[in-house]
Amino acid sequence: MRLLVCISKTPDTTSKIRFDADSKNFIEEGVQFILNPYDEWYSLVRAIEIRESIGGQVDVIHVGNTSSDILIRKALAIGADAAFRIEDEASNSTSVAYQIAEFVKSHPYDIVFVGKETIDHNGSEVGSKLAAFLNLPFVSFCNHLEITNNIAVCSMEIDGGNEIIELNIPFVLSAAKGLAEQRIPNMKGIIDAKKKPLNVIAKVNVENHSELVRFETPAAKSGVRMIDPDKLDEMVDIFKNELKII
Amino acid sequence: MVLVLLEHKDGEIKKSSKEAASFAADLAMSTGEKAVGLIAGGATNSNELGALGIEEIFEFEAADYLDSQQWTQVIEQAYQKLQPTFIVLSNNSLGKSIGGRIAVRLNKGLISNVIQFKSEESKPIFRKSVYSGKAFAWYAFQSNEGIISVMPHGYGVFPNKNKQVTASKIDISIPSGNVKLKERNLLKGKTPLTEADIVVSAGRGLKDPSNWKMIEELADLLNAATACSRPVADAGWRPHYEHVGQTGIAIRPNVYIAIGISGAIQHLAGVNNSKNIVVINKDPEAPFFKAADYGICGDLFEIIPKLNEALRRAK
Ligand SMILES: Cc1cc2nc3c(=O)[nH]c(=O)nc-3n(C[C@H](O)[C@H](O)[C@H](O)COP(=O)(O)OP(=O)(O)OC[C@H]3O[C@@H](n4cnc5c(N)ncnc54)[C@H](O)[C@@H]3O)c2cc1C
Ligand SMILES: Nc1ncnc2c1ncn2[C@@H]1O[C@H](COP(=O)(O)O)[C@@H](O)[C@H]1O
């Protein structure tokens, strides 16, 4: 089975978020980047498990510049076989999806994995755009995946529950919590990763239809109002008269 | 024309769709257009939709289950027939699975998870929360058209308009799908977390899963949904679908009540856009108090039963 895992990078949640003077650019300096947890913990690991059980190849792909190579090596250390990086700024989801789609058209895969969302922008856009460019079915928010004889049975998160569906390969799948258990790279993995191929590919241009106007940082909270634990009627009064929920 | 996709469940328009409808109506008003709704046949409540500001409804016939490619076909055909400037979806599970696909198929922009819009230099710009709630970003379309998905609880439902609604059928042919639905499991009688107006959430401070009774009692008294922090879901104390935060669900209820949760940044990432936050924690230094609007500092095992009692008295 040929499996492709799309990996994105994201600032560590504890990073300080700062913008430049005209509020148009995020300042990356001093920010610690990590692999997007949905990609690292769930989709990559499930792809590796499938290879371990039925054989095949797991490749990872990333759209970004050379500063991401250290994260790509981590994905190789966890167990991917080969990596591809498309040299681009990855400034919007249409471009990322288009680049990956062009790559997949010339290198067909049975399943293309993306994560549920990149946690910096909570976009959840690349997967469904990629599926559209490839004209493939899209299994969104998949938390369980089994494959037998090229037929997949998947559980998808939906609002207030889940759906169990069945479909044939090939398809695009977005990974949610539950799809697999996080794996930590071991020493052998880290050493092997250095020898695995990381191929760099040139980008193709595509038109984007939306643009960032500016960033904004939220106003600070005006401060918490403390309620005496011995006067809980005051809390009830707030529920009733200020928040109006009872 | 601004077209909004309206989903329904058992004949009731979903709350997330009502919110998308309110957004669409306000957007249409600001651009001088009219808001129209697209809905699978048989669930039109004209009065309700008129109050939300919808002027025309187009009903199509569809099977109970459509996969993301089939849904996209529905929107594509409606687009060809109606030529709306903007298409508005809820950014719920359906919106997330089809928003990007529709944008690609129609060759238009998508601005997702929007919470607000305003007019600037005579065109609408759209606001969304980014970087785990630590910042906002405003986006615009390059042309004056595109697809917008509205964050559940991001905008609000405003049934204060008074439009006359006309309903007509729209002919849409849906090709056979590539995905077979085998089972659909919905939590009975429970409001999905993403749709809940009030959320009562608890963390490791509860010490043991058997202590959740009082949390559920509080949730019942407030008519709230329940949520939890990640370690609690990981330990199997609570079901995984209750896990909120950076790696769980992001929610934006009217009131979020956090009990025995420290307020780690990864937890806050999923809840700090809530309109009001109430924190109950015995540690005055718990980081959650900094993100809170109301706080009670003390032992939850004493506070929650007393609070429940006070609520019962107040009812
Ligand atoms: C990459 C990454 C992603 C993560 N994603 C998430 C996520 O999505 N969601 C999430 O929640 N976490 C997430 N975490 C974990 C997060 O960092 C915290 O560890 C977690 O939120 C802590 O859970 P907690 O507040 O329930 O437990 P603790 O941190 O153990 O806090 C328990 C709190 O209860 C209080 N308490 C104890 N006893 C009482 C009592 N009797 N009365 C009143 N208060 C009491 C304590 O003062 C304390 O503040 C993530 C971590 C990482 C590294
Ligand atoms: N620059 C990128 N390179 C490769 N894959 C990406 C990139 N950005 C996003 N993705 C994939 O798309 C998923 C969803 O991202 P997003 O649409 O940004 O929320 C991520 O989990 C990745 O799998």
Ligand 1 mutation pick, B199, B247, B277, max ligand atoms within 8 A of CB: B247
pLDDT, averaged across chain B: 94
Q: Does B184 map to a domain? A: no
Say whether both B163 and B199 belong to one domain. Answer: no
Establish if A114 touches chain B: CB-CB under 8 angstroms.
no
Mean pLDDT of A111-115: 98
Could you tell me the pLDDT band of residue A40, with boundaries at 50, 70 and 90? very high
Q: Which of B169, B203, B222 lies at the terminal end of a domain, its last residue?
A: B169
Say if residue B137 is in the same domain as residue B43. yes
Disruptive mutation site among B17, B67, B68, B136 for chain A (greatest number of A CBs within 10 Å): B68
* pLDDT the model gives residue B50: 95
Domain-located, residue A37:
yes
Overall average pLDDT of the B36-65 stretch:
89
Q: Is the pLDDT of residue A219 over 90?
A: no
Q: What angle do CA A24, B114, B10 make, to 5 degrees?
A: 165
Closest-CA distance, B13 to chain A, in angstroms, reads: 14
Q: Read off the pLDDT of residues A121-149 as tens digits, 9 standing for 90 and up.
A: 768 999 999 999 999 999 999 999 999 99
Average pLDDT for A96-125? 94
**Residue A185, pLDDT score:** 95
- Whether A203 is covered by a domain: the verdict is yes
Q: Classify residue A42: in a domain, yes or no.
A: yes
pLDDT at A216 over 90: yes
Considering the domain architecture, whether residues B158 and B207 belong to the same structural domain is answered as: no
pLDDT in tens, B236-259: 999 988 999 988 888 999 999 999
> Are B219 and B153 within one domain?
no
For B248, residues 6+ apart whose C-beta sits below 8 A from its C-beta are A177, B230, B233, B270
- Please state, in angstroms and rounded to a whole number, the distance separating the CA atoms of residues A31 and A38: 20
Percent of chain B with pLDDT over 90: 84
Q: Does A22 touch chain B (CB under 8 A)?
A: no
For residue B145, tell me if it sits in a domain: yes
Q: Residue A225 falls within a domain, yes or no?
A: no
Distance CA A1, CA A109 (A): 8
- Ligand 1 pocket, Cβ-based, cut-off 6 angstroms: A 37; B 203-205, 229-232, 245-248, 260-262, 264, 266-267, 270, 281-283, 286, 299-301
Residue B236, in any domain of the structure = yes
ipTM, two decimals, is 0.92
Q: Are residues B157 and B240 in the same domain?
A: no
pLDDT in tens, B179-238: 999 999 988 777 788 889 999 999 999 999 999 999 999 999 999 999 999 999 999 999
Residues B42 and B159 in one domain: yes
Amino acid at A114: V
Residues B81 and B116 in one domain: yes
- How many domains, in total, are found in chain B? 2
Mean local confidence (pLDDT), B6-30: 93
Indicate the pairing of strand A161-168 with strand B179-186: antiparallel
pLDDT of residue B113: 94
Q: Is residue B268 part of a domain?
A: yes
- Ligand 1 atom nearest the C-alpha of B265 is 17
Specify the pLDDT at position A130: 98
> Is residue A234 in some structural domain?
no
Mean pLDDT of the region B83-89: 98
Assigned domain for A241 exists = no
Phi, psi torsion values for A140, nearest 5 degrees? -90, 145
Single-letter code of the amino acid located at A104: V
How high does pLDDT run on average in chain A? 95
Task: Please check the confidence at residue B43 and state whether its pLDDT lies above 70.
Answer: no
pLDDT attached to residue A160: 85
Q: Are residues B162 and B210 in the same domain?
A: no
Q: What is the pLDDT of residue B261?
A: 98
Q: What is the pLDDT of residues B118-162, one digit of tens each?
A: 999 989 999 999 988 889 999 999 998 999 999 988 899 999 998
Average pLDDT over residues A222-243: 95
Picking from B112, B135, B169, the residue at the C-terminal end of a domain is: B169
Domain membership of residue B176 (yes or no) is no
Domain range for B296 is: 193-314
Say if residues A40 and A182 touch (Cβ distance below 8 Å): yes
Residues in chain A with CB shorter than 8 Å from the CB of B197 are: 245
Q: Based on the fold, state whether residues B83 and B211 are members of the same structural domain.
A: no
Can you list the positions of beta strands (E) in chain A?
Answer: 2-6, 9-11, 33-35, 57-64, 82-87, 111-115, 138-148, 151-158, 161-168, 171-175, 198-201, 210-216, 225-227
pLDDT in tens, A52-82: 999 999 999 999 999 999 999 999 999 999 9
In a domain, residue A240? The reply is no
Residue of A nearest to B275 (CA): A243
CATH number at residue A70: 3.40.50.620
Domain range for A180: 2-215
Rounded to 10°, the helix B93-106/A93-106 angle is 70
For residue A243, is it within any domain? no
Q: Do B157 and B268 reside in the same domain of the chain?
A: no
CATH number assigned to the domain comprising residue B269: 3.40.50.1220
The pLDDT of residue B106: 97
pLDDT value for B137: 96
Number of domains in chain A: 1
Last-in-domain residue among B108, B134, B169: B169
Q: Are residues B18 and B153 in the same domain?
A: yes
- B98 shares contact with chain A (CB less than 8 Å): yes
